[in-house]
Amino acid sequence: MSNNGLGKRLSALEERTFGADPFEDFPDWDLTEQLEGVAEVLRWYRAFHADCLVLYPLTEREAHLLALLCAQWELGGPPLQSGEYRFPSGLTVAWRDNSDGTFAASASRWARLEDLPDDVRRHFKRMDPLEQPQRERFLYRNRHRAKKARERVRWHDENGWDEPTPRELRYWVTRGEGWR
* Per-residue model confidence as pLDDT tens for the chain (180 residues): 456 777 666 666 555 544 566 667 778 888 888 888 988 888 888 888 888 888 999 999 999 999 999 999 998 877 777 899 999 999 999 999 888 888 888 999 999 999 999 999 999 999 999 999 898 988 988 888 888 888 888 888 888 888 888 877 776 544 444 444
**pLDDT at res. 43:** 87
pTM for the model: 0.75
**pLDDT at res. 3:** 63
Cα–Cα distance for residue pair 57/127, rounded to 1 Å: 5
Cα–Cα distance for residue pair 92/85, rounded to 1 Å: 6
CB 26 within 8 A of CB 66: no
**pLDDT at res. 52:** 83
Cα–Cα distance for residue pair 121/126, rounded to 1 Å: 10
Cα–Cα distance for residue pair 146/150, rounded to 1 Å: 6
**pLDDT at res. 84:** 94
**pLDDT at res. 94:** 93
Phi first, then psi: what are they for 173, rounded to 5°? Answer: -105, 130
**pLDDT at res. 23:** 66
3-state helix, strand, coil in the chain (%, to 5): 50, 15, 40
Cα–Cα distance for residue pair 67/71, rounded to 1 Å: 6
Find all residues with CB under 8 Å of 117, minimum gap 6, and list them.
70, 87
Amino acid at 18: F
